[in-house]
Structure 1
Amino acid sequence: MFGDVLRKFGSLVAGATGPIVRARDRVWHLSPEGEALFGSAGPSLDAWIADGSAEVVKSGPHRTVYRVVLASGTGYVKHCRINGPRAWAREVIRSPKARLEFENATRLRAFGIGAAIPLAWGTSDTRWPGQSFLITHDLAPAIAFPDFVEKRPLVPCERRKLAHALGAFLARLHENGVAHPDPHPGNLLVEWGQKRPTPPSPLPEGKGELTRKVSGIGTTHCAGSFSPFPSGREDGGVGCLYSTPEFSLLDVHAVRFGAPLSWAESRANLIRFNRWFQLRASQTDRLRFWRSYCEGRKTLPNLGAKEAKELERETLASNRRFWVTRTTRYRGTHRTIRKIRSGRVRGLAVRDLPGDFLRVLLAAPNDLFTKSGTRLLKQCVSSTVAELEMPTPNGPRTVILKRVNVRSALDLLKNLFRSSAVRRSWLFGHGLCERWLPTPRPLAMFHVYRGGFLPAEGYLLTEKVPHAIGLTEAVKACRDTRVLRSWGEKLARVVRTMHDRGVSHRDLKAPNVMLQNAAIDPVNATPVLIDLVGVRASLNAVPFARRAKELARLNASFLATPHVTRTERLRFLRAYLSVGERQLGWKTWWNAVSAATAAKVAKNHRSGRVLG
């Protein structure tokens, strides 16, 4: 920050500001490339916007980004605005954001680090702080890193090269004393050469490499089922890219320069970078990244396994803090959630929910339960659950509507002073989606209000788990040991991942688990968690005692199922313990779960409730 204050009175980068041009009530500072392109007249920004040649790419209260076709190719114009007192005060004591980004990009390129080619930066021709403009040249054919890994499948050798190159790039940044304060993959561009077909070379038997997802949930989760580094054989494959990927930085206005980063500084930067990859990349590829990073850190020669484990733990802790903050956003409106209201009905809905269907739903929600084509799944004193068709522009879509009844005046008072059951299900449904845990995405949540302020009957609309069968029914009908074992191992990894990410289900019984696609492909069916009323999330991993109770509740669901043997239960436990860091020995867990199961059975026997 102090360096930014100094830069307001003189550039720290020799020749960064270049010639100065005054035109159309603006002051432009040109780079040599910008001077050759724009000349003495300066950029014609107003003309570009007026004739439509400047296309809006991003827009917000603090900035607008345009794409414009220049004589030398495609360029980008970033229009930075002051959108509050804090931003105004910041502009008083430091240089305009456009100037910071212009100079930082120039300095990065001088280090040989990829960054956008700066052409010009400008401000309004006034002494007072105001809007600023940055013009850069496109780095085509480089594309954003998330787009690169999401839009094209990577063969194993590409995945390996990408991990190594990314580790070397981050090491080069830190060795040069460069710290990007927001190093998420969206601020990275990647450029890679053309494909060169090569024949596949089979591996010798037994030499394949087995990689597993650190997330522990395979490819089934509500946030999407992609991994940027899909696991597979390390055989080169067909079409492997033999050139080395080149990376460039975006959004560099806050980049810091100094001495090579210490381990504490490097760790803080790597934690923010690793948060995205910990959910999407395999442990093997993250290890490749780490080894490449260590090789490039000449000033930190002693990095090893201890630091790697520390980085993984701190990343998970950082993600848990991030998820708790993200989950609270679903209490109100933001770019994906909106408020809904119709008469006595008030609530929240996702913005992509069809408006016509939503109006019908809010006008008479109870009518949908008796509408032709609706299939009742559950009806009892406390709630009613139905499956119905929702019209969409792409055709009908099956959704689940749940109504939670108000049985007494006490329920009304509870809803008034604490979050209702549907509100908790809505909140933690989105919370589990943020954590990449498998659960149906909530679409809408609302209450019928009595007297204008008492939330009464609650309604929750969610996506339907496709081709799903309840875990209880599926296990009872299954006689194939291999399939049963596969389901148990997948569910164990889901539960362990959930606990490590700070989530306690608190009602983890078999009826609250669905097997997605079990109706059409039992072998590859994947578990999905439902009924999230009792879910709790925290900044810390779930403690041992709570984990044992939840495993015991799941274990108790199958005490009356003969073919779920002690061997299968032990396999489940060992699969649970195999994900993440080891916690105590399996015998300690076995004894704790057995004791908690016996306590649950005795409790249900005393109350006369059947184990479900």
Structure 2
Amino acid sequence: MLADVLRKCGSLVAPAAGSSVRANGRVWRLSPEGAALFGAAGPALDEWLAGGSAAVVKHGPHRTVYRVALASGTIYVKHCRINGPRAWAREVLRLPKAQLEFENAARLRALGIGAAAPLAWGTSDSRWPGQSYLITRDLDPAVPLPDFLEARPLTASQRQVLARDLGTFIAKLHENGVAHPDPHPGNLLVAWEGEDRPRAERRTVRNGFHFALLDVHAIRFGPPLPWAASRENLVLFNRWFQLRASRADRLRFWLSYRTARAGLVCPEGPKHLERATLASNRRFWVARTARYKGTHRTVRKVRAGRVRGLAVRDLPDAFLRTLLAAPDAAFSQPGTRLLKDCVGSTVAEIELPTAEGTRTVILKRVNTPSASGALKNLFRASSVRRSWLFGHGLCERWLPTPRPLAVFHRYRAGFLPAEGYLLTEKVHDAVGLPEAVKACREAPVLRAWMERLARVVRAMHDRGVSHRDLKAPNIMLAGAARDPATATPVLIDLVGVRAGTGAVPFARCAKELARLNASFLAVRHVTRTECLRFLRAYLGAGASGRGWKTWWSAICRATRAKVAKNARNGRPIG
């Protein structure tokens, strides 16, 4: 922040470079390319907006991005707004956001680093801080990296080239003293320059990827980054790729980065970087999960009479109004299929009309017959609220679970949350794990299920999630009704889930594996050999400091304790 203050003080002494134009209550500063494009009148922003040539690309309370198609080519206009006291204070202390991005982009391009070509930046013709505008040239055919990866499947050789070129690009940034404080892939444009050729021709023709930075207003410039600053930036950059790229491709990125920065002393290797990334991700996921306690860009508050709660923004309004007006009526309407109806809860499949057609969703009601239960919900998160929070938390961690769509309560006396309702997506073509395992007589299929489940449970534990009710009835096999060989496990009923910023301790992991093991004690074809295969798959999915025998002993002890406890209480093991 101090650097931003000093930078503004310097701009007061030496005014911003470039020609200046006043037009329609705005002051524009133009680059030489912008002056040649817009002329003496400056950018015709009002005409573009009124004439419909400006199409909205992104919109939020703090900024709107437009794509404008001109005869000379496509340009982008970013309208930066002040959306609160904090943003206003920042504008007082530092240069306008558009000016920062304009000057940083020009400096990056001077260093030979890809960035949008800055054409103009402008502010309101006033002495007080206010909205600002940035105009840049389109970098066609470059697109944001996530869009590029979704639009075209890459071949194995292209993925390898992408990993290496990306490592070289990030090394070039750090070697030039450039640190992007928000280096997520959405701020990285990529273009493939080359074509697929036969293997014999690949050595003579260099196909490759070219990259450019977006959202560069907060970039910091300085001397080449030392290892501590480089490590911090690499961890932030690696968070997205740790869930989406293979370990081999991440290693290729690292080796390319180290080759490009041969003079950098790195006391740590890729394993340390991976562990630091996972720890950073766990902190990030906990913060992201907390956002679902209230409203944000994907969640809104809903209310109808004594019923109120939260819902995702893409849920149809008409359906939501009908559901909130009479939530209990949904369990008896035509087309509803009851899945469970007991004293504690009721679960049903209901129809959700959408623009693409009707789809099936799951509605669960948790009964609260006594006033004491409603009073407890006032001081703690209810079961449906915990399922809502950790359902989104698992989705953030890329763990398989149905996406929660809405959560709400019927309130008593205006403030006591009584009956709770949770609406989630349905797991298609799913079969319960206990039913599937009991009916399965093909050993290869059963082992494939166990290996996939072991990897899911290990990923859950590594990502800081503990499922204290990890029993077979709380796991579904998605796609088992269609093709059992390709079925994948999905976690449901997340009331017992907890999540933190650290890895789940060994004792807790063993106890949860024991709970899962106890679910199959009565299934004769789930032998000790199959259980050992499950454990070896679990341990092989991540690093572990203990041998399999230590795990096996701990799980056996915890399983015996669970069986004895249920026998004392007279409860069957589910």
> TM-score per shorter chain, which class?
over 0.9
CA 1:365–1:15 in 2, change beyond 3 Å: closer, same or farther?
closer
After the TM superposition, which residues 150-229 of structure 1 pair with which residues of structure 2 at under 5 Å, given as runs?
Answer: 150-196=150-196, 198=198
Residue 561 in structure 1 maps to residue 523 in structure 2: yes
Answering whether residue 555 of structure 2 is matched by residue 593 of structure 1, we say: yes
**Is the aligned partner of 1:335 residue 2:297?**
yes
Letter of the 1:453 partner, please give it. F
Q: Amino acid of the residue matched to residue 279 of structure 1?
A: L
Which whole-Å CA distance do the structure 2 matches of 1:100 and 1:315 have between them? 29
Q: 1:95 to 1:602 in 2, by over 3 A?
A: same
User: Using a 3 Å threshold, how does the CA distance of structure 1 residues 66 and 446 change in structure 2: closer, same or farther?
Assistant: same
The reply to whether residue 529 of structure 1 matches residue 478 of structure 2 is no
Whether the 8 Å contact between 2:193 and 2:210 is mirrored in structure 1 is: no
Structure 1 residue 456 displacement after superposition: 1.5
Q: Residue 258 of structure 2 aligns with which residue?
A: 294
Deviations 1:375-405 (A, max 9, x none): 2222221111122222222222111111111
Residue 233 of structure 2: aligned partner: 269
Distance 1:357 1:94, change over 3 A: closer
Distance 1:21 1:394, change over 3 A: closer
Cα distance in 2 between the residues matched to 1:465 and 1:257? 49
SS at match of 2:82: coil
- Which whole-Å CA distance do the structure 2 matches of 1:372 and 1:44 have between them? 57
Which amino acid counterpart does residue 428 of structure 1 have in structure 2? F
Amino acid at match of 2:84: G
Aligned counterparts of 1:483 and 1:115: Cα–Cα separation in 2: 50
What does residue 91 of structure 1 align with? 91
User: What's the secondary structure of 1:523's corresponding residue?
Assistant: helix
Give the match's secondary structure for 2:302.
Answer: strand
Alignment of 1:37-48 (within 5 A): 37-48=37-48
Aligned to 1:127: 127
Q: CA deviation at 1:197?
A: 5.0
1:284 aligns with 2:248: yes
Amino acid of the structure 1 residue aligned with 2:281: N
Q: Deviations over 1:355-388 (max 9, x none)?
A: 2322332222222223333222222211111222
Structure-2 separation of matches of 1:356 and 1:597 = 49
Confirm or deny that 1:441 pairs with 2:403.
yes
Which residue number corresponds to residue 64 of structure 2?
A: 64
Residues 283-320 of structure 1: CA distance to partner in whole angstroms, max 9, x if unpaired? 111111111111111331546xx421111111111111
Aligned length: 571
Deviations 1:512-556 (A, max 9, x none): 110010111111100001111111111111111110100000001
Compute the displacement of 1:343 (Å): 1.9
Structure 1 residue ranges without an equivalent (≥5): 202-234
Name the CA distance, whole Å, in 2 between partners of 1:174 and 1:29. 30
Give, in angstroms, the shift of residue 98 of structure 1. 1.4
SS in 2 for 1:554: helix
- The answer to which of 326-335 and 367-376 deviates more is 367-376
Please state how far the C-alpha of 1:75 moved relative to its aligned partner. 0.9
- Residue number in structure 2 paired with 1:369: 331
The answer to whether the Cα contact below 8 Å between 1:577 and 1:583 also exists between their aligned partners in 2 is: no
SS at match of 2:364: strand
Rounded Cα–Cα distance in structure 2 between residues aligned with 1:191 and 1:265: 28
Could you give the per-residue CA deviations for residues 78-123 of structure 1, whole angstroms, max 9, x where no partner exists?
2222233332332223222111111111111111000010111222
Q: Which amino acid aligns with 1:125?
A: D
- More helix per residue: 1 or 2? 2
Partner in structure 2 of residue 518 of structure 1: 480
How big is the shift at 1:476? 0.7
Cα distance in 1 for partners of 2:497, 2:84 equals 38
Q: Which residue of 1 aligns with 2:27?
A: 27
Amino acid of the residue matched to residue 317 of structure 1?
Answer: A
Q: Which residue of 2 aligns with 1:223?
A: none
1:247 to 211, 233, 247: 211
- Which sits farther off after the overlay, 83-92 or 501-510? 83-92
Partner of 1:403: 365
Letter in 1 for 2:230: S
Residue identity opposite 2:215 in structure 1: D
Most deviating of 161-170 and 3-12 = 3-12
Once the two structures are overlaid, the 10-residue window that deviates more, 159-168 or 365-374, is 365-374
Contact 2:31 2:119 in 1 (8 A): yes
Which range is displaced more, 323-332 or 548-557?
323-332
Return the alpha-carbon distance in structure 2 between the equivalents of residues 28 and 581 of structure 1.
Answer: 56
The change in CA–CA distance for 1:312 and 1:413 in structure 2 (over 3 A counts) is same
1:604 offset after TM fit, Å?
0.7
Kindly provide the amino acid, as one letter, of the partner of residue 52 in structure 2.
G
Deviation at 1:406, TM superposition (A): 1.7
Structure 2 equivalent of residue 212 of structure 1: none
Inter-partner Cα distance in structure 2 for 1:270 and 1:285:
15
The verdict on how the C-alpha distance between 1:114 and 1:587 changes in structure 2, with shifts beyond 3 A counting, is same
Q: CA deviation at 1:568?
A: 0.7
Larger deviation, residues 345-354 vs 483-492: 345-354
2:227–2:266: 8 Å Cα contact kept in structure 1?
no
Matches within 5 A, 1:396-545: 396-545=358-507
Mapped contact 1:16–1:106 kept (Cα < 8 A): no
- Distance of 2:435 and 2:108 partners within structure 1: 60
Can you give the 5+ residue segments of structure 2 that lack an aligned partner in the other structure? none
Query: What TM-score, normalized to structure 2?
Result: 0.95
Shift of 1:337: 1.4
**Whole-angstrom CA distance in 2 between matches of 1:455 and 1:361:** 17
Q: Deviations over 1:6-43 (max 9, x none)?
A: 3324469x997222233333332221211222233322
The aligned counterpart of 1:358 is: 320
Shift of 1:438: 0.5
Structure 1 residue 134, shift from structure 2 partner = 1.5
Name the SS of the counterpart of 1:377 in structure 2.
Answer: strand
Structure 2 Cα separation of the partners of residues 592 and 355 of structure 1: 51
Shift of 1:2: 3.4
What is the alpha-carbon distance in structure 2 between the residues aligned to residue 49 and residue 372 of structure 1? 48
Q: CA deviation at 1:426?
A: 1.1
Equivalents in 2 of 1:364, 1:132: separation in Å? 47
Q: TM-score, normalised by structure 1?
A: 0.90
Q: Does 1:570 align with 2:524?
A: no
Corresponding letter in the other structure for 2:179: A
2:559 and 2:112 mapped to 1: Cα distance? 62
Do residues 74 (structure 1) and 74 (structure 2) align?
A: yes
Give the letter aligned to residue 475 of structure 2. V
Distance (Å, rounded) in 2 between the aligned partners of 1:260 and 1:364: 63
| Residues 1:36 and 2:26 are matched in the alignment | no
Shift in CA distance, 591/177, structure 1 to aligned 2, threshold 3 Å? same
| Counterpart amino acid of residue 332 in structure 2 | T
- The root-mean-square deviation of aligned C-alpha atoms, in Å, is 2.1
